[in-house]
């Protein structure tokens, strides 16, 4: 029987090695649904359900709502809390987050219809488009910092050293926010790479640090459309990934002036857009 402790689950497994089998307890990355509810004007409405690793849930909710244009500034958020509805099973209350807004009524949520159910694996289910970013008023990012290649070389190792949950479970993505001098500012882990980024955006929003105009983002996996979409909304000028970007991620980077780096491993990387922010030899 698996038992969850925080962001990890302890489960008995069987290890088969060199023809021998042995049982032991192993740590797994926890994955549970998080329902995000909006409250305003005496109304409550569920806007999304995402599969996530429990932890930093308030940041995740805030970052998701900011990334999707529902919350545009910190001042709109009145409170964030877990569910206290007595009719909800006690074990599920920590899988429901209420976000209260300083508004007389709930905002227009038509743009969130495609987001009602998301998965930790693929993010939002449904087609995404560059037009959606343009409609929301996203503009080309300002010039931002210029960094040395050597600074980028060192980021994956810094990220890896701070991935405490990955160290014990081996099953989590990470997103790390760095300063233009390579200092780690914020790191979040999750079974979903887009959730890890939403947690960082939420951290920045709740601490009034947006836009992230002088920062570098590193994600531990590939760079998808959603990673670039959320980074662009948060104003991150340089986005790096350990693996490859998708073609739509490259399109977003080129259209909105983001520097996109892929395959950042060892002393090598590939620039897909915005090479002017990297001081090339």
* 186 has catalytic annotation: no
- Dig out the tokens for 184 from the structure: 């780690």
User: Which of 122, 186, 215, 240 is the catalytic position?
Assistant: 122
Question: What DSSP character marks residue 244?
Answer: P
Q: What gap in Å lies between CA 169 and CA 128, rounded to an integer?
A: 32
Distance CA 275, CA 114 (A): 33
Phi, psi for 234 (deg, rounded to 5): -80, -5
Query: What order of strands is seen across the sheet that includes strand 117-119?
Result: 77-82, 96-101, 32-40, 43-52, 117-119, 123-124
Residue 256: enclosing H or E segment and its boundaries? helix 247-256
Active-site positions read: 122
């Amino acid at each position: 029987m698996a038992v969850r402790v925080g962001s990890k689950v302890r489960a008995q497994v069987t290890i088969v090695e060199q023809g021998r089998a042995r049982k032991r307890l192993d740590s797994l990355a926890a994955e549970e649904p998080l329902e995000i509810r909006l409250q305003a004007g005496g109304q409550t409405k569920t806007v999304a359900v995402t599969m996530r690793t429990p932890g930093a849930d308030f940041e995740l909710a805030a970052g998701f709502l900011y990334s999707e244009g529902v919350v545009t500034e910190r001042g709109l958020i009145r409170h964030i809390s877990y569910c206290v509805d007595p009719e909800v099973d006690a074990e599920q209350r920590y899988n429901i987050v209420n976000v209260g807004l300083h508004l007389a009524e709930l905002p227009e949520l038509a743009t969130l219809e495609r987001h009602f159910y998301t998965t930790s694996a693929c993010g939002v289910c449904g087609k995404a488009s560059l037009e959606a970013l343009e409609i929301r008023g996203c503009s080309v990012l300002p010039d931002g910092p210029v960094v040395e290649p050597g600074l980028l070389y060192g980021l994956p190792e810094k990220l890896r050293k701070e991935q405490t949950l990955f160290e014990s479970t081996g099953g989590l993505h990470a997103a790390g926010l760095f300063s233009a001098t390579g200092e780690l500012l914020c790191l979040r882990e999750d079974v979903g790479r887009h959730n890890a980024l939403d947690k960082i955006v939420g951290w920045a929003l709740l601490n009034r640090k947006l836009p992230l105009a002088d920062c570098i983002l590193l994600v531990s996996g590939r760079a998808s459309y959603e990673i670039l979409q959320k980074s662009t909304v948060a104003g991150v000028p340089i986005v790096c990934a350990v693996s490859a970007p998708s073609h739509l991620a490259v399109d977003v980077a080129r259209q909105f002036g983001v520097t996109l780096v892929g395959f950042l491993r060892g002393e090598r990387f590939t620039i897909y857009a915005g090479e002017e922010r990297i001081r090339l030899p």
